[in-house]
Structure 1
Amino acid sequence: MNASLNEIESLCKKAARGAGLSWGLAEEAGKAARWLSGNGLDGPALLAGQLRLDDGCAYPQLRPDTGTDYWELAGRAMCPLIAGVTLSDHAYLIRKKGEIHLGTMTHPQLLMPFASAAARQLGIALKVSWQGCVLEFLPGGGAVLIQAYNFLSPHVAGVNCTCVALATRGASELDGPIPTLVTSVHEYLDSLAARTYVPASEASRLLGAGAGLSDNT
């Protein structure tokens, strides 16, 4: 089905909340899916893939330790949503240290919207890379794919975030139409979003549409 960016953001936000994220993190997940879709990437499918892995996790325990130059989680791959929010909150560390290394991560593409926000916040160009893939994020928020091999990998051994003096010249920014929302992805996200709905009680039904037990006479 064709979906607008507003519809994608709303669905993904509710799905992320249904998978166990706080409302604040769910809002960030919805915005991330919207950013990816607005740049021609399949944001809902990427988010769905990550939510399948993290469904029901204790997300506060997935927050990396920002006190070191190498962020990682013992015993599991990093969640790009949690890593991305942490990166945005601690963007000043990139300027201070010049680079930050992130450990093993699933669906690193979900890190892209947060890297874009960090570059815009700092007013610098930021390079994000993993094996076979190099991206640059411009001070204005745009993203450039420099090396695309392994770009869509669902699992990478590590991600590097580095300040760069100047963005690579001649490279074109990511762009493209909003991808079609695949039925199976839509159904999965919708099933997660349904967890946020409060079951109707007898009282709520009587207070809802219709006359209830009154004939309004």
Structure 2
Amino acid sequence: MNASLNEIESLCKKAARGAGLSWGLAEEAGRAARWLSGNGLDGPALLAAQLRLDDGRAYSQLAPDIGSECWERVGSSMCPLICGVALSDYGYLIRENGRILLGKVTCPQLLLPFVSATATQLGIALQLSWRGCILEFSPGAEGVLIQADTFASTHVEGVSCVCIKAASETGQALSGSIAPLATGVHDYLDSLAARTYVPASQASRLSGAGAGLSDNL
């Protein structure tokens, strides 16, 4: 099915909240899915894959320990949404130290929107890479895929985000039309979103919420 960027963002935000992320993180997830879809990637499918991994896990199991040179979560892989938000919040460390390193991360493509936003925010070019994959982002938000051998990997480690002089003019630009929303992906995200709905009760109906009893008169 076809979906607009607004519809993708709304569905993905609610699904992320239903999977247990805070509303703040859920909003970031929705925006990330929108950015990916607007740049020729399948944002909803990528988010759905990550939410399957996150569902039922505590924030403390998914968040990076930013107190070390390499951000990591001992014993488990980190969520790229949480890492991406942290990278945006601590982007100044890239300017100070020249780089931020990450340990094991799942669905690394979800990092792209955050790196792009950080490049724009700091006004510098950034390179995001892991073994077999290199992407570069300009301050103007243009993204280029330089090496794509492991671009679609679902589990990676040794991720680095480094400051570079300028983004490459060669490679594959991140662009394209919005990918159709697969039925299976939509249904899964919708099932997560449904968890955020408040079930109707006899009290809410009698107090005037929804149709109430007046429709039966």
SS for the counterpart of 2:126 is: strand
TM-score (norm 2): 0.95
Report percent identity of matched pairs: 68
Match of 2:36 in 1: 36
Match of 2:56 in 1: 56
SS for the counterpart of 1:160 is: strand
Match of 1:208 in 2: 209
Give the direction of change, closer, same or farther, for the CA distance of 1:210–1:78 in structure 2 (3 Å limit).
Answer: closer
Are 2:39 and 2:177, in contact at CA under 8 Å, matched by a contact in 1?
A: yes
Match of 1:192 in 2: 192
Q: Deviations over 1:155-202 (max 9, x none)?
A: 112211110011112345211000000000000000000000001011
Instruction: List 4+ stretches of structure 1 deviating above 4 A.
Output: 213-216
Q: Deviations over 1:101-123 (max 9, x none)?
A: 10011100000000001100110
TM-score (norm 1): 0.95
Instruction: Note the aligned Cα RMSD (angstroms).
Output: 1.6
| Alpha-carbon separation, structure 2, partners of 1:131 and 1:39 | 23
Which letter maps to 2:69?
Answer: D
Q: What is the aligned length?
A: 216
Pairing 1:180–2:176 present: no
Q: For structure 2, list consecutive stretches of 5 or more residues without a partner in the other structure.
A: none
Are 2:126 and 2:136, in contact at CA under 8 Å, matched by a contact in 1?
A: yes
| Alpha-carbon separation, structure 2, partners of 1:90 and 1:30 | 21
| Alpha-carbon separation, structure 2, partners of 1:50 and 1:7 | 19
Are 2:146 and 2:170, in contact at CA under 8 Å, matched by a contact in 1?
A: no
Give the direction of change, closer, same or farther, for the CA distance of 1:33–1:214 in structure 2 (3 Å limit).
Answer: closer
Q: For structure 1, list consecutive stretches of 5 or more residues without a partner in the other structure.
A: none
Match of 1:110 in 2: 110
